[in-house]
Structure 1
Amino acid sequence: MTDKAHHEVAARWNQNADQWTDDVRNGYDVYRDLFTFPAFVEFLPDITGLDVIDFGCGEGTNTRHFAKMGAKVTGIDISQGLIEHARQAEIADPVGVKYKVGSYSSETGLPASSFDAVVSTMALMDGPDFQGAMNEAYRLVRPGGFIAFSVLHPCFITPGLQWQKDEHGKTTGLCVARYFSKEVFTENWKFGNRPKDENIVPFSVPRFPRTIGDYLNAVAFAGFRLTRIGEPQPTEDACKIVPRFSRWRDLGAFLLLVMAERPK
């Protein structure tokens, strides 16, 4: 991908940064709070005492959680605006996280083999160069270290996704379409649990469709050895709190988790 694509991603997330930070820290991201992040934490091995870098750390909520789990954490994100919010949170309540503005898909300027693990939560699908991200992750991880990441499940979250409903309006199935499309597009959306009458500008998020082969082959081509794949379902408790989660429990997979090791 060109530098132009990276600049466009940075510009969009700088534009989103203030509203995104406010929404996340005020509990509007229920998918993160009740499903995707708890599932990722359960997927992770013990990271106590490990040197960890968080690719696409955003405003730092998840990054700070990794630090509270006992890791020594560095966060990197292409958005200056999001990193500023992360740094402000660190100043207000220090947990030892260091932050860096930059793309995780190219040379980060950090020393080779300087981390025990690379983690990334729901960010890598929004970068234009996934192979570049895997190459840089491999360079940064020490032999024997690992990468663990979560992305939207590419087999179900496709550009042509549609829910099927019966005559009573009950959701009965998930239709996927344009799975092999590589056409980059911009999705405009806002968190669904916001009041309907709020005058909130939707987030503008560039999307880079990929197949499951695109993801897994890039991990392998970088030199990693795949060790674990996860496709978690929302818990029963989460579905009680947010009933629409049951669609992802019963009808299709929302989340893909990948773990891979750099051979010793």
Structure 2
Amino acid sequence: MMPPDTRHYSDAGVLEAWHENAEPWTETVRSKAIESRRLVTDHAIVDAALRLAPRSALDLGCGEGWLTRALAECDIRAYGVDAVPALVEAARQADPGAPADRYACLSYQAIARGALDARYDLVLCNFSLLGFEVVAELLAAIPGLLAPGGSVLIQTLHPPLAGGDAPYRDGWRDGDWTGCGKSAGTAAFGEPAPWYFRTIGSWISLIRSSGLELRELSEPLHPQTRQPASLILVAAAPEPR
């Protein structure tokens, strides 16, 4: 299903909204205002990463850098990349002792065109694959970012639950800030970013069409509702035959 060709429902619309909301998002993350992150998904992605025992990791769409910092604290050579300059600057300010190259401001399109020449044991995408064409382009480039034996780890919204009452099929959806709580500061959220909804089957197909093999699928549960809080996918390049 092709998405509507409008300014709002587009990869450019996603990025524009995150430029606008960088400050309140940073405040929200650092004040731990989102219950599902605080109770489930933050530790779920860290635990999944540590089980893979990487020596190096690339956090794609790192935002204000919390996951990059968490991995670095576990003695992993961690690097964060984001397309929003304000988020990258926030990450650098929160990590003053970090190597100069730990954080970089790069778009997914630039990465897909080969802007990164390093290889990593683990590439992470933590709720950072929100677009349509740009996500397919990025995933197709990930095999070239993996060191031998490396993996890609994706955490995303759980499709059956995140889809609400809308038909269960791929397509653009309106975003909102429900569940973000009140941030620690005074910055107000603006227009939320749209996001491209994919079914579980579509995620698996996209991974396979990107030259990767799905190795693991898990659904971390919220401790109170006992409903899935997210979908976690682990994939890797096929082993040589």
Q: How many angstroms does 1:97 deviate by?
A: 6.5
**Cα-to-partner distance string for 1:173-199 (whole Å, 9 max, x where unaligned):** xxx4311141x243232545339xx89
Task: Identify which of structures 1 and 2 has the higher relative contact order when contacts are C-alpha pairs closer than 8 Å and 6+ apart.
Answer: 2
Q: What code does the residue aligned with 2:56 have?
A: D
Name the CA distance, whole Å, in 2 between partners of 1:199 and 1:44.
32
What residue identity is the alignment partner of 2:167?
R
User: How many angstroms does 1:104 deviate by?
Assistant: 2.8
Aligned equivalents of 2:79 and 2:106: distance in 1?
A: 12
5+ long unaligned stretches in structure 1: 162-175, 240-245
Shift of 1:48: 5.5
Residue of structure 1 in register with 2:44 after alignment: 39
Q: Does the 8 Å CA contact 1:142/1:262 hold for their aligned counterparts? A: no
Alignment RMSD, CA only? 2.6
Matches within 5 A, 1:23-102: 23-46=28-51, 50-91=55-96, 93-94=97-98, 98-102=102-106
> Paired residue for 2:167?
178
1:111 maps onto 2:117 in alignment: yes
Cα 1:97–1:27 change in 2 (3 A) is farther
- The residue aligned with 1:172 is none
Normalized against structure 1, the TM-score is what? 0.77
Q: Which amino acid letter does the alignment assign opposite residue 94 of structure 1?
A: A
Per-residue Cα deviation, 1:76-129 (whole angstroms, up to 9, x for no partner): 1121111111111122x53777112122352250116x11110121111x1333
| Secondary structure at the counterpart of residue 116 of structure 2 | coil
Q: For each residue in 1:203-222, what CA deviation from the matched residue of structure 2 results, as whole angstroms up to 9, or x when unmatched? A: 51221111112211111112
SS at match of 1:156: helix
- State the SS of the aligned residue for 1:70: coil
Kept in 2: contact 1:67–1:97 (CA 8 A): no
Residues 1:207 and 2:195 aligned together: yes
Describe the shift of the 1:141–1:16 C-alpha distance in structure 2 as closer, same or farther (beyond 3 A): same
- 1:73 match: secondary structure: strand
Give aligned pairs, total.
Answer: 228
Structure number with the higher strand fraction is 1
CA distance in 1, matches of 2:71, 2:101: 9
Q: Percent identity?
A: 27
Unaligned 5+ segments in structure 2 are none
Aligned residue among 126, 129, 137 for 1:132? 137
Partner SS state of residue 233, structure 1: coil
Give 1 or 2 for the bigger CA radius of gyration: 1
Work out the CA distance in 2 between the residues paired with 1:8 and 1:177.
21
C-alpha distance in structure 2 between counterparts of 1:179 and 1:17, whole Å: 30
Find runs of 4+ consecutive structure 1 residues off by over 3 angstroms.
Answer: 4-7, 45-49, 93-97, 190-193, 198-203
